[in-house]
Structures are given as structure tokens and as C-alpha cells.
């Protein structure tokens, strides 16, 4: 596509769409049509990030002083705008990230649900009152915003993840600098436009595109930024958490996963297969909650493998805009390379490649980053494909003697985001619930997803800091202030502790 036809998008700072001070831009391409430029975006630098922080700081007093139910009005308007533009925004997600259009539509719906829940918090955001140990004294708690918060997000849910951070941050009275993933700035611009049109005052939310190492890092380091909400890789999140802690900031990091399904011999096999295939290959395995391991109880292993391969072979691979497609392209060349490298590594490590393993080529496939759904068996627990997050359509299958053995395999990784068991036995289900190391636990359902009014997040290397969504999000994006009011008519002796 000729450069002259490409739309250039700016940063949003202090209520204005502005170019980066660096004078540089970069282009993004459609992963299903890799020569098609989708847009040109600002390659911002540290100065741009700091300008956005200043704008957010300037807007803070006004927004923090706006009653929460009035702040909620902006979110309700944003929901309406998202509803009107849902189809266009879903298409943008598919063009930019590659996921099937139905997944993108689901993502937009999820963002709307999150905003609805957060807007409702504008009329709750409970503190509590409690009896004081002194007479004529009232003791209660209130919530106050943190101040300016940085929102740093990954590319795989370019609307829903920003929304589930931005909406609670706004309702709690914080002002925001939003740094989207460099791979998905187009969706971010569209989300920013929604909030602008919903009537957010200038400076309350700012958006700066550009490299994490400079723009993101400047936000983490800025003394004016009091809270950091990050979702992304464990490697980057660990660094941000350490940096933020050193500066005494409130930090939440949602990171990688290596999620396992445990399949017990008594399970409904048909139901389990549906959930496993959706979890492993839906959204091309590029979900933090994707199923990347299945641990199967020995008596049903052979039957399971036969049906797994049969059903996987029927999945349709193609452009996410095609409504018939089950498995769309990887989101980028770098993601494609990483996944192909892991597939090669699995074979070299001695695992058995029993299905897929190739890039898909010829015809439309030459235009995109397509990889076959891939299945490994005979995987050793010490292999890298057993331990590391691959973030692609690659499933590793393990055999277990019984539930205890399966839980041990499930817990043998450093991650602990999501997990699932398929069984009809309540005793086994509860043993699993009580011992599996994961922040989100499913019974007879895929490892995917979650509802917006319930906490979302992981244990171990998958998450640190507060959970996201539900009331936990309000807990993260606010400080609790304790208030004591002495309304006694005259002076009195006070207790002499702390
Ligand atoms: P990255 O960690 O590479 O990037 C995440 C964000 O951090 C991007 O905006 C990135 O910017 C930015 N960043 C990079 N370096 C720095 C830095 N030094 N300081 C501040 N910010 C920085 O993750 P991906 O975008 O590749 O996303 C995929 C990962 O996200 C997977 O590991 C996946 O599991 C995880 N994830 C976790 C979820 C959860 O809830 N647990 C949900 C969804 C995804 P830039 O793009 O410019 O590099």
C-alpha cells in the first residue's frame, strides 16, 4: 500500500491529538495479509511520556473531586458508543491482531461488561463503619484515588485488557497514562476515541504509543505515577514489579501462563474435548488463559488421543475475517518465529510430534503467519515445551496414574494462572480445587476467560499484586483512608498508644 494512503494516528495528551516530540512514526501490518499497512503510529519517547504524566497530574484534582456517580456517567456513555461502534472495533482487532472476528466481537462485549460493572461501583465503592473503643467517636473508612496511574498492556486483548484497567481506574478517581502494546496501537486509538467522545475532561486519560523500554519505563520511573497496572510477559512484569517496589508504588502485574486441563477417567469426554480444543487452539493459543497442557488419566488416554487428533484435523485455518475459520494467523512475525522455534525445540528435546508442527503455506496462507494446530506427546517434565509459555497453537499431552499424580504434574511449572479439571466425581473435584496451584480454577469448563465481577489473576510467576476485575480492582485503584471523629462535648484523657 502506498504510504500516502496510510492514515497517521497521534498520541492523545491533555485532550489533544498530538505528534510525538521524536518526530518518528512506525507502521503496523495485518498478520493475515502481511504487506498491508494498517496505519502509522507515533514512536514516542521519554519526553512524550512525561508530558502525558504532567497532563494527568494537572487533571487529577478536578477528576478526583468529581463525585464517583458522576464519573460513572462517562463510563455509561462510553458503553453506548462502544455498542454503536462494536462491529468496527471488532474488525479493527481482527485486522490488527489476527484473531477470529467472533472472538474480537466477544472481546468488545467483554469490555462493555467491564465498564458496566465499574460504572456501578460509582454508587458503591464501599468503606465501612465500625464501633470505636472511645465514647463519642465515629470510626469509618473511605476510598481515595491513588493519583496518576500508568496502564501498560499487551497485544493479545487490545480492547478488553485496557478496558478492564481503565474503567476501574477512572471510577476510583485516578487519572491515566495508557501505554498500549506497540503491536496493537490501532485498537488503543479507537478505545481512546470512545472515552474522548464520552466526555472525559482533558488530561484525565492520555494515550502514548511507542516502545515499552522507553515510554513504558518512563512511566514506571516517574515520581508522579503512583500506581502501575501491567499485563504482559513474566519477564517484563518481574522487572516492573521490582522497579515499582523500589519506588514504593502500588503495582499489579498479570503475566504469563502454562495452563493445564486435568482429564479424569470418569469425565464426559465429549464435553472435555470441546473445552480442550477451544482452550488450546482458539485465538490461536494466544491467550494468557489458553490450555497448553492436558494431563490425562491413563485408562482413557488412547481413546482421548484418537478423538483429539480427529477433531483437531477438522479445524479450519484461515483469515480471522472468514466466519468459518477456527484458527487464525499468529499476531506477528516475531510471534510466528517464537512458536516455530518452540516446535523445533520440542522435537529436538525428544517429544513426539503427533499432529501438526508446520507453518501453513500456499495461496492465502503465504500472506499471513499461519501455523498448524500442533500436538506433542511423550513430553518430559523437564523439557522447555513442558515448562515455558509458548503462546501459540501448541498443546502438550501428559499421562497420569491418578488425580494426585495429575495435580503434581499440573503444579510442576512456575506459572499458576488458570486450570481446569473434567470429572463427575465431587470428591475428586474438591481435592483438585483445594490443591491445584492456580488463581482461577474451573471444573468441567475450559481454562479460558472469566466473568467481569469476579477476580482475575494468577499465582506464582503468573501474577503479583492485587487481582484485577470485580471489587479487587477497586481495592487496587484506591487507597483506604481511616477516619476517626471525636464529637465529645469536652476534652478528655486519651489512650496513650501508637
Ligand atoms: P510484553 O511483556 O512484551 O509487553 C507488555 C507491555 O509492556 C507492552 O505494552 C510493552 O511495550 C510493555 N513493555 C515492554 N518493556 C517494558 C519496560 N521495560 N517497561 C515498561 N513497559 C514495558 O508482553 P506481550 O505484549 O508480548 O504480551 C504477551 C504476554 O502477556 C504473554 O506472556 C501473556 O501470557 C501475557 N498476558 C497475561 C495476561 C494475564 O492476565 N495474566 C492476559 C494477557 C496476556 P511494547 O509492546 O512496546 O514492547
Q: What CATH number should be reported for the domain holding residue 181?
A: 3.40.605.10
Is residue 359 situated within a structural domain? yes
- The pLDDT of residue 208 is 98
- The pLDDT of residue 5 is 81
Mean pLDDT (whole number) for 247-252: 98
Mean pLDDT (whole number) for 136-152: 97
Is residue 70 situated within a structural domain? yes
Is the per-residue pLDDT at 452 higher than 80? yes
Residue of 53, 162, 232 to mutate, ligand 1, most atoms within 8 A of C-beta: 232
pLDDT digits (tens, 9 = 90+) for 425-438: 999 999 999 999 99
Q: Are 299 and 240 contained in the same domain?
A: no
CB-based contact 46:177 (threshold 8 Å): no
Atom of ligand 1 nearest to the CA of 243: 19
Instruction: Using alpha carbons, select from 293, 291, 304, 308 the residue that is nearest to residue 264.
Output: 304
121, 122, 137 from 129: Cα distances, Å? 18, 19, 11
- The pLDDT of residue 492 is 76
- The pLDDT of residue 491 is 85
Q: Are 243 and 280 contained in the same domain?
A: no
If one counts the domains in the chain, the total is 2
Flag the least confident range among 171-185, 275-289, 310-324, 483-497.
483-497
Is residue 397 situated within a structural domain? yes
- The pLDDT of residue 1 is 43
Mean pLDDT of the chain: 97
Q: Are 419 and 331 contained in the same domain?
A: yes
68 Cα to the center of ligand 1, angstroms: 30
Is residue 156 situated within a structural domain? yes
Is the per-residue pLDDT at 157 higher than 70? yes
154 Cα to the center of ligand 1, angstroms: 4
Q: What is the DSSP code (8-state) at residue 466?
A: S
232 Cα to the center of ligand 1, angstroms: 3
Is the per-residue pLDDT at 4 higher than 70? no
- The pLDDT of residue 449 is 79
Which position among 96, 121, 172, 288 bears the catalytic label?
288
pLDDT digits (tens, 9 = 90+) for 90-127: 999 999 999 999 999 999 999 999 999 999 999 999 99
Mean pLDDT (whole number) for 11-17: 98
Tell me whether residue 451 is one of the annotated catalytic residues. no
Domain extent for 235: 3-255+462-482
pLDDT digits (tens, 9 = 90+) for 15-49: 999 999 999 999 999 999 999 999 999 999 999 99
Residue of 155, 236, 239 to mutate, ligand 1, most atoms within 8 A of C-beta: 236
Atom of ligand 1 nearest to the CA of 235: 2
Is residue 87 situated within a structural domain? yes
For CA atoms 294, 297, 302, 307, the dihedral sign is negative
Q: Are 88 and 131 contained in the same domain?
A: yes
Q: Are 12 and 132 contained in the same domain?
A: yes
Task: For residue 129, give every residue at least 6 positions away whose Cβ sits within 8 Å of its Cβ, in sequence order, or none.
Answer: 138, 139, 140, 141
Q: Are 187 and 108 contained in the same domain?
A: yes
Q: Is 389 in the pocket of ligand 1 (CB under 6 A)?
A: yes
The pTM is what?
Answer: 0.97
Q: What is the DSSP code (8-state) at residue 33?
A: E
Q: Are 195 and 246 contained in the same domain?
A: yes
pLDDT band (50, 70, 90) for residue 2: very low
Mean pLDDT (whole number) for 253-282: 98
- The pLDDT of residue 494 is 66
- The pLDDT of residue 497 is 57
Q: Are 195 and 139 contained in the same domain?
A: yes
Amino acid at each position: 500500500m502506498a504510504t500516502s494512503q496510510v492514515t497517521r494516528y497521534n498520541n492523545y495528551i491533555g485532550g489533544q491529538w498530538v505528534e510525538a516530540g521524536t518526530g518518528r512514526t512506525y507502521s503496523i501490518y495485518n498478520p493475515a495479509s502481511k504487506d498491508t499497512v494498517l496505519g502509522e503510529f507515533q514512536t514516542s519517547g521519554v519526553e512524550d511520556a512525561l508530558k502525558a504524566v504532567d497532563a494527568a497530574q494537572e487533571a487529577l484534582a478536578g477528576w478526583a473531586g468529581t463525585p464517583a456517580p458522576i464519573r460513572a456517567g462517562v463510563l455509561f456513555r462510553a458503553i453506548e458508543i462502544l455498542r454503536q461502534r462494536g462491529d468496527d472495533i471488532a474488525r479493527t482487532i481482527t485486522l490488527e491482531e489476527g484473531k477470529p472476528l467472533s472472538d474480537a466481537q466477544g472481546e468488545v462485549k467483554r469490555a462493555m461488561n467491564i465498564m458496566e460493572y465499574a460504572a456501578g461501583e460509582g454508587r458503591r465503592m464501599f468503606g465501612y463503619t465500625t464501633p470505636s473503643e472511645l465514647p463519642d467517636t465515629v470510626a469509618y473508612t473511605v476510598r481515595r484515588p491513588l493519583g496518576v496511574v500508568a496502564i501498560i498492556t499487551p497485544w493479545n486483548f487490545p480492547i478488553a485488557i485496557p478496558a478492564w484497567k481503565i474503567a476501574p481506574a477512572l471510577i476510583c478517581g485516578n487519572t491515566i497514562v495508557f501505554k498500549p502494546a506497540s503491536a496493537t496501537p490501532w485498537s488503543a486509538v479507537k478505545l481512546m476515541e470512545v472515552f474522548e467522545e464520552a466526555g472525559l475532561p482533558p488530561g484525565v486519560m492520555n494515550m502514548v504509543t511507542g516502545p515499552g523500554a522507553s515510554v513504558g519505563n518512563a512511566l514506571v520511573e516517574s515520581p508522579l505515577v503512583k500506581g502501575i497496572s501491567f499485563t504482559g510477559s513474566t519477564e517484563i512484569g518481574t522487572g516492573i514489579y521490582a522497579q515499582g517496589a523500589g519506588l514504593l508504588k502500588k503495582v499489579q502485574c498479570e503475566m504469563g501462563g502454562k495452563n493445564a486441563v486435568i482429564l479424569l477417567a470418569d469425565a464426559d469426554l465429549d464435553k472435555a474435548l470441546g473445552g480442550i480444543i477451544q482452550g488450546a487452539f482458539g485465538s490461536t493459543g494466544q491467550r494468557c488463559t489458553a490450555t497448553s497442557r492436558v494431563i490425562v488419566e491413563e485408562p482413557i488416554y488412547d481413546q482421548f488421543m484418537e478423538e483429539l487428533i480427529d477433531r483437531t484435523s477438522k479445524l479450519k485455518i484461515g483469515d480471522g475475517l472468514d466466519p468459518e475459520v477456527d484458527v487464525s494467523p499468529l499476531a506477528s512475525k516475531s510471534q510466528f518465529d517464537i512458536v516455530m522455534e518452540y516446535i523445533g525445540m520440542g522435537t529436538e528435546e525428544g517429544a513426539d510430534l503427533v499432529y501438526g508442527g508446520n507453518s501453513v503455506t500456499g495461496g492465502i496462507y503465504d500472506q499471513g503467519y499461519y501455523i498448524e494446530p500442533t500436538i506433542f506427546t511423550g513430553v518430559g517434565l523437564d523439557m522447555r515445551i513442558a515448562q515455558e509459555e509458548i503462546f501459540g497453537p501448541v498443546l502438550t499431552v501428559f499421562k497420569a496414574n491418578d488425580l494426585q499424580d495429575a495435580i503434581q504434574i499440573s503444579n510442576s511449572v512456575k506459572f499458576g494462572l488458570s486450570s481446569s479439571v473434567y470429572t463427575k466425581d465431587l470428591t475428586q473435584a474438591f481435592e483438585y480445587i483445594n490443591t491445584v496451584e492456580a488463581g482461577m480454577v474451573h471444573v468441567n469448563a475450559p481454562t479460558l476467560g472469566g466473568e467481569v465481577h469476579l477476580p482475575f489473576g494468577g499465582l506464582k510467576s503468573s501474577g503479583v499484586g492485587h487481582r484485577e476485575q470485580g471489587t479487587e480492582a477497586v481495592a487496587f485503584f484506591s487507597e483506604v483512608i481511616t477516619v476517626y471523629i471525636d464529637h465529645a462535648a469536652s476534652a478528655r484523657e486519651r489512650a496513650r498508644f501508637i
